C-alpha cells in the first residue's frame, strides 16, 4: 500500500502517517505535490469551568493541552504558519478544506483570504444530534463550519457536480449538510474503552468532501490527522492519503483503523458524469451514512442483482444508473420504483432498501 511519488529530489510518502509537528513536516515535503488538504485544527475553545448536565453528570469537555493557546495572537500565528505551509504544498489547481467552530473559524477564514486562497463556499455541517445547551443560556450549538477554498483565484479546482447532485436526490448540493455526529461503533475507543479522540469526525462528512472535490488517485493530505478519518475515507474511495500527527496514541489508533479499511472496487468509485442521471430519491445518502456500502450487492425479488456505487448509483451486468433506471432495464419495464424493487441482505433475510430510506427520513424530520 505504501508508495511514494518522486517530485524532483524529495519523495512524497503516500499512505503513511508521519510523526511530527505539522508545520515542520509540511515544510519538509515537496512543494506543489498535493491535490487536496483537509484540516481539522485545534479550535481554541477557551472553556472556563466544569459543566454539569441537569442530571448532575459531568460533561467530558475538550480540555487537552493541544487545544490551549495563550491568546488570539498566538492562535493567529499558529494559523498563519500552518496555512502558508499548506499552501506551498498544494498543486496550482489544488484546494483546501478547513473545519472549525465560532471560536476559531473566523480567524481561519480571514487568514485564508489574507494568504490569497480563494474561498469557494463556506459549508455548514448541521448536526442532527448535537449536545444540548444544558443551562439554557444560549442557542444549542448545533453546527460547525467548513470552508472550501482553492489555492489561488482562478484555479481550476475539482468539483464533481453531478456526483454531489446524485447524492442529493437529483437536486444540486447545497451549502448546508445535515449529518449525525460520530457515535456508536464508528467512534473509536482506546484500550480502556474511552473515546480514543475527543473530536473524531464522522466518515460521512469526509465522504462528501473527498467524493465531491477530488478525483480517484488524487493525493489528500491531513495535517491534523487524529484518528485518521480522512485517511480511512480516502482509502475507501481510492485516493492516496498523507497524515501528519504528533500524538503517538492517535497515530497508533489511526494506523490500525486504516489497515482494516477495504478500498471499494473501481466500478463503485466511478461517479456519475451523465446529466441524464437524476435519481428522484436520495439513495446516495444511504451510502454516505454507511447504511449500504459501495460494492454491496442488491437483489430484486426475482433474483436480479446490481452493485452499489459510492455516488448512489447502481451498476448491473450491462447497465448503470439510478436504482429506478437499473430496475426498469432489468425488468424490461418503462419504469420501476427502485425503493421497493431492490433488497439488501441482513442476517440472511432480504430487506427492501425502502426501510433504510424510512430511517433517514425519520432523522431528517427531526430537524
Partner DNA sequence: CGTTTGGTTGAATCATAAC
Partner DNA sequence: CGTTATGATTCAACCAAAC
Give, as ranges, the residues between 192 and 221 that touch DNA (CB under 7 A). 195, 198-200
Grid coordinates representing 320?
448503470
Instruction: Give the three cell numbers for residue 284.
Output: 446516495
Smallest distance from DNA to CB 270, Å: 16
For residue 357, the tally of other CB atoms under 10 A from its CB is: 17
Q: 107 is in the binding site of which of DNA, its own copies, none (Cβ under 5 to 8 A by kind)?
A: its own copies
Please identify, using beta-carbon distances, which residue of 98 and 353 lies nearer to its own copies: 98
**Residue 277 CB neighbour total at 10 angstroms:** 20
279-288 burial string, b = 16+ CB within 10 Å, else e? bebbbbbbbb
Q: How far apart are CA 279 and CA 164, in angstroms?
A: 12
The partner in contact with residue 18, picked from its own copies, DNA, none with C-beta cut-offs of 5 to 8 angstroms by kind, is none
Q: Of these partners, DNA, its own copies, none, which one is at the site of residue 43 (CB under 5 to 8 Å by kind)?
A: DNA
Q: Answer with the entry of its own copies, DNA, none that 131 interacts with (C-beta below 5 to 8 A by kind).
A: DNA
Q: Binding of its own copies at residue 119 (CB under 8 A)?
A: yes
- Grid cell, residue 268, equals 463503485
Triad 342, 348, 351: Cα angle to 5°: 30
Q: Which of 76, 134, 246, 247 binds DNA (CB under 7 A)?
A: 134
Does residue number 129 form part of the binding site for its own copies (CB under 8 A)? Answer: no
Q: Compute the distance between CA of residue 326 and CA of residue 315 in angstroms, rounded to an integer.
A: 7
108, 211, 282, 353: which one contacts its own copies (CB under 8 A)?
108
For the segment 44-63, give every residue that binds its own copies (CB under 8 A): 52, 56
Given 94, 109, 202, 231, the residue binding its own copies (CB under 8 A): 109
Tell me how crowded residue 198 is: count the other CB atoms within 10 A of its CB.
Answer: 14
CB of 276 to its own copies, least distance (A): 9
Q: Does 158 bind its own copies (CB under 8 A)?
A: no
In the three-class reduction of DSSP (H, G, I as helix; E, B as strand; rest coil), residue 234 is classed as: helix
Cell of 66: 493541544
Q: CB atoms < 10 A from the CB of 316, how many?
A: 18
Contact residue for DNA among 325, 330, 344, 356 (CB under 7 A): 325
For its own copies, the binding residue among 176, 259, 265, 317 (CB under 8 A) is 176
Number of residues that bind its own copies (CB under 8 A): 50
The residue within the footprint of its own copies, chosen from 9, 65, 138, 192 (CB under 8 A), is: 138
Sketch the per residue contact string, 22 through 61, with DNA: x for CB under 7 A, - otherwise. Answer: ------------------xxxxxxxxxxxxxxxxxx-xxx
- Calculate the CA 2 to chain-centre distance: 22
Reference 60, options 200, 248, 195; nearest CA is 195
Asked if 122 touches its own copies (CB under 8 A), the answer is yes
Evaluate whether 192 touches 221 at the Cβ level (below 8 Å).
Answer: no
Cβ burial of 135 (10 Å; 0-12, 13-18, 19+) is exposed
165 binds DNA (CB under 7 A): yes
Nine-digit cell at 142?
448545533
Binding site for its own copies (CB under 8 A): 52, 56, 72, 101-103, 105-110, 112-114, 119-124, 126, 130, 132-133, 136-143, 145, 147-148, 159, 161, 164, 172-176, 274, 331, 333-336
Amino acid at each position: 500500500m505504501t508508495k511514494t511519488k518522486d517530485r524532483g529530489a524529495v519523495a512524497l510518502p503516500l499512505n503513511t502517517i508521519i510523526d511530527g509537528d505539522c508545520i515542520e513536516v509540511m515544510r519538509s515535503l515537496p512543494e506543489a505535490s498535493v491535490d487536496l488538504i483537509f484540516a481539522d485544527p485545534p479550535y481554541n475553545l477557551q472553556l472556563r469551568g466544569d459543566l454539569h448536565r441537569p442530571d448532575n453528570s459531568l460533561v467530558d469537555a475538550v480540555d487537552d493541552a493541544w487545544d490551549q493557546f495563550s491568546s488570539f495572537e498566538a492562535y493567529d500565528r499558529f494559523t498563519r504558519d500552518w496555512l502558508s505551509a499548506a499552501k506551498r504544498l498544494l498543486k496550482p489547481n489544488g484546494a483546501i478544506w478547513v473545519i472549525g467552530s465560532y471560536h476559531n473559524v473566523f480567524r481561519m477564514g480571514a487568514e485564508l483570504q489574507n494568504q490569497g486562497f480563494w474561498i469557494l463556499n463556506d459549508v455548514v455541517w448541521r448536526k442532527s444530534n448535537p449536545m444540548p445547551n444544558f443551562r439554557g443560556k444560549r442557542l444549542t450549538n448545533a453546527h460547525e463550519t467548513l470552508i472550501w477554498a482553492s489555492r489561488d483565484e482562478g484555479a481550476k479546482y475539482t468539483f464533481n457536480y453531478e456526483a454531489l447532485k446524485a447524492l442529493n436526490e437529483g437536486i444540486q448540493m447545497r451549502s448546508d449538510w445535515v449529518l449525525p455526529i460520530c457515535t456508536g461503533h464508528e467512534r473509536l475507543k482506546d484500550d480502556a474503552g474511552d473515546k480514543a479522540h475527543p473530536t473524531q469526525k464522522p466518515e460521512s462528512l469526509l465522504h462528501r468532501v473527498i467524493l465531491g472535490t477530488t478525483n480517484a488517485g488524487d493525493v489528500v493530505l491531513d495535517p491534523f490527522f487524529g484518528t485518521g478519518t480522512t485517511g480511512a475515507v480516502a482509502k475507501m474511495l481510492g485516493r492516496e492519503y498523507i497524515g501528519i500527527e504528533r500524538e503517538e496514541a492517535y497515530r497508533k489508533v489511526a494506523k490500525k483503523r486504516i489497515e482494516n479499511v477495504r478500498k471499494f472496487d473501481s466500478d463503485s468509485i466511478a461517479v456519475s458524469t451523465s446529466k441524464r442521471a437524476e435519481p428522484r430519491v436520495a439513495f446516495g445518502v444511504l451510502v454516505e451514512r454507511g447504511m449500504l456500502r459501495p460494492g454491496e450487492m442488491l437483489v430484486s425479488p426475482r433474483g436480479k442483482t446490481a452493485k452499489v456505487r459510492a455516488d448512489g448509483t447502481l451498476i448491473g451486468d450491462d447497465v448503470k444508473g439510478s436504482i429506478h433506471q437499473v430496475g426498469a432495464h432489468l425488468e424490461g419495464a418503462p419504469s420501476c420504483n427502485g425503493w421497493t424493487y431492490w433488497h439488501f441482505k441482513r442476517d440472511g433475510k432480504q430487506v427492501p432498501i425502502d426501510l433504510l430510506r424510512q430511517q433517514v427520513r425519520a432523522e431528517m424530520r427531526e430537524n
